[in-house]
Structures are given as structure tokens and as C-alpha cells.
């Protein structure tokens, strides 16, 4: 009962929130769940970085985002916050299957995202896992079908799409393309196109983050985003 009321209040707070007039500088001023607020505080995340201030308010409202900001600017939380909140507000549970897919160019980066997610998502029931290749393919494929959030590298994600039994993509709510420029530089264009062709488009929100802007990034954006909000944080130097 109490949980139900909290979710309704949160839903309303998101609805009432206007990113255009918002002056939020701290995470706790955003319309987010108390579970996430606690996870962020416990991880010592208090004030938002520029890219977080500019993107999270719109992403929480469900908009597609095309954002570029240099390395170290805080892009990880810019997508993890909206991902967790969207699934939380939808009362996501194991039965609902894959709710969010986060694609990262390298194992190391995927691992880092996973670790941040584990910390800030500590108070959620949502399950998350890494698919990054290496030796544990069989172990991975047995687990992926049960995960709510999948973080991985393009090649391995596509392999699971092709082979994992019971992996249901039809409910996917959020797709994150992190370090999109680097994915493309590494030759993952075709793999990303193939992944995209497997995903539903109806309900899906897509968040595309990149350190640099380029023609190939805008081409990928055109394929994956719907009326995106453009956010560019320029280097101050």
C-alpha cells in the first residue's frame, strides 16, 4: 500500500517536473525514488556535473538523448539514473525480462558501468549483469534470460541475441549506447546495426553518449533515436 502510494507520488513528481525551468543542481532535487537517492548519497554523489544537469532531467521525462561530453565529465550517471528510475517506476521484476540494454565498447568500460550500477542501485530489486566475453560464455548464456539490465560489449551482446535461449527483447524500455564514437572507431558499426534491428522501437527510449561528435555518430543517431534532445557540453579550457 505504502509502496503503491510512493510510486504514484513519484509518477506525479516526474510529470510536474519541468526540465526547462529546473534549477536542480543536486541529485536529491530531482524527481527520483528514495531508493536511488539513498544509493547516490551512500556513493558520495551529491552535486551533479554539467552533463548530468543537462541530460538527466530530460531523460527522466522519457526523451531520447544525444549527448556529447568529454571523458571524465560524468556520463555514466547521466544514463544510469534514468535507466534505474524508468524500470523502478514500471515496477520491473524478474518476470518482465530485459528492461535495459547498455552497450559499451570495451570490457573494462562495461565493468566500470556495472560497478557504478551495483553501488547506486543497491536498494533496488532489479537484477543486472555483464556480458563481456572471455571465458564464461556458457555461464553467461544461462543467466542472461533472467536479467533486467544487461551491460556489455557489442559483439558479445549480439552473440547472446542470436544464441541465448529465452532471452526476450520485446519488453526493452531503454537502450544506452555509451561511448558511441569509440564503438564506431573500433569497427562495431555493423554489429550495432544488427543489434538495433533486433530491438523493439515502440516503447523504447534511447540514450546515446559520445565523447566527440562526428558524421558516423550522427548516422548512428539517425538510426537509433527519435526526435532526440541534443546536449553538448563543451570543454572549458
If one asks whether residue 234 binds ligand ADP (CB under 6 A), the answer comes out as: no
Q: Residue for cell digits 544510469?
A: 80
The yes or no reply on residue 204 touching Mg ion (CB under 5 A) is: no
E strand or H helix at 229, and its extent? strand 229-232
Determine the Cα–Cα distance for residues 165 and 39; give it in Å rounded to an integer: 33
Q: Looking at beta carbons only, is 31 or 97 nearer to ligand ADP? A: 31
* Residue selected from 75, 86, 89, 156 as contacting Mg ion according to rule CB under 5 A: 75
Nearer to ligand ADP, 30 or 164 (CB): 30
Piece in contact with ligand ADP (CB under 6 A), picked from 5-13, 43-51, 85-93, 151-159:
43-51
Determine which residue in the list 10, 24, 62, 74 makes contact with ligand ADP, applying CB under 6 A: 74
Site string for ligand ADP, 10-29 (x = CB under 6 A): --------------------
Annotate 10-78 with DSSP letters as a single string. HHHHHHH--TTT----BGGGSS--HHHHHHHHHTT--BPPHHHHHHHHHHHTT--EEEE--TTS-HHHH
85 neighbors 33 (Cβ within 8 angstroms): yes
Residue 156 makes contact with Mg ion by CB under 5 A: no
Nearer to Mg ion, 102 or 157 (CB): 102
SS3 130: strand
Stretch of 55-63, 65-73, 189-197, 216-224 lying at the interface with ligand ADP (CB under 6 A): 65-73
Q: Is 117 in the site for Mg ion (CB under 5 A)?
A: no
Tell me if 148 sits within 8 A of 126, measured CB to CB. Answer: yes
The closest of 110, 147, 164 to 132, measured between CA atoms, is 110
- Residues of the shown chain interacting with Mg ion in the complex, contacts defined by CB under 5 A: 75
Question: What is the contact surface with ligand ADP in residues (CB under 6 A)?
Answer: 45, 47-49, 52, 69, 71-77
Amino acid at each position: 500500500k505504502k509502496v503503491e502510494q510512493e510510486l504514484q507520488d513519484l509518477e506525479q513528481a516526474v510529470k510536474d517536473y519541468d526540465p526547462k525551468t529546473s534549477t536542480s543542481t543536486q541529485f536529491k532535487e530531482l524527481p527520483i525514488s528514495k531508493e536511488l537517492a539513498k544509493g547516490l548519497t551512500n556513493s558520495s554523489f551529491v552535486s551533479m556535473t554539467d552533463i548530468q544537469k543537462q541530460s538527466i532531467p530530460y531523460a527522466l521525462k522519457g526523451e531520447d538523448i544525444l549527448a556529447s561530453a568529454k571523458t571524465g565529465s560524468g556520463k555514466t550517471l547521466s544514463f544510469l539514473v534514468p535507466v534505474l528510475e524508468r524500470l523502478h517506476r514500471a515496477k520491473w521484476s524478474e518476470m518482465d525480462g530485459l528492461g535495459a540494454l547498455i552497450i559499451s565498447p570495451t570490457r573494462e568500460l562495461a565493468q566500470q558501468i556495472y560497478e557504478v550500477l551495483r553501488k547506486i542501485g543497491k536498494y533496488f530489486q532489479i537484477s543486472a549483469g555483464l556480458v563481456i566475453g572471455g571465458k564464461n560464455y556458457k555461464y553467461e548464456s544461462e543467466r542472461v534470460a533472467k536479467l533486467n539490465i544487461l551491460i556489455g560489449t557489442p559483439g558479445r551482446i549480439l552473440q547472446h541475441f542470436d544464441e541465448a535461449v529465452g532471452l526476450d527483447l520485446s519488453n526493452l524500455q531503454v537502450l544506452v549506447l555509451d561511448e558511441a564514437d569509440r564503438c564506431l572507431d573500433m569497427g562495431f558499426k555493423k554489429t550495432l546495426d544488427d543489434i538495433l534491428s533486433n530491438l523493439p522501437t515502440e516503447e523504447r527510449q534511447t540514450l546515446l553518449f559520445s565523447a566527440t561528435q562526428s558524421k558516423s555518430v550522427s548516422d548512428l543517431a539517425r538510426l537509433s533515436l527519435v526526435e532526440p534532445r541534443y546536449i553538448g557540453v563543451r570543454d572549458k579550457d
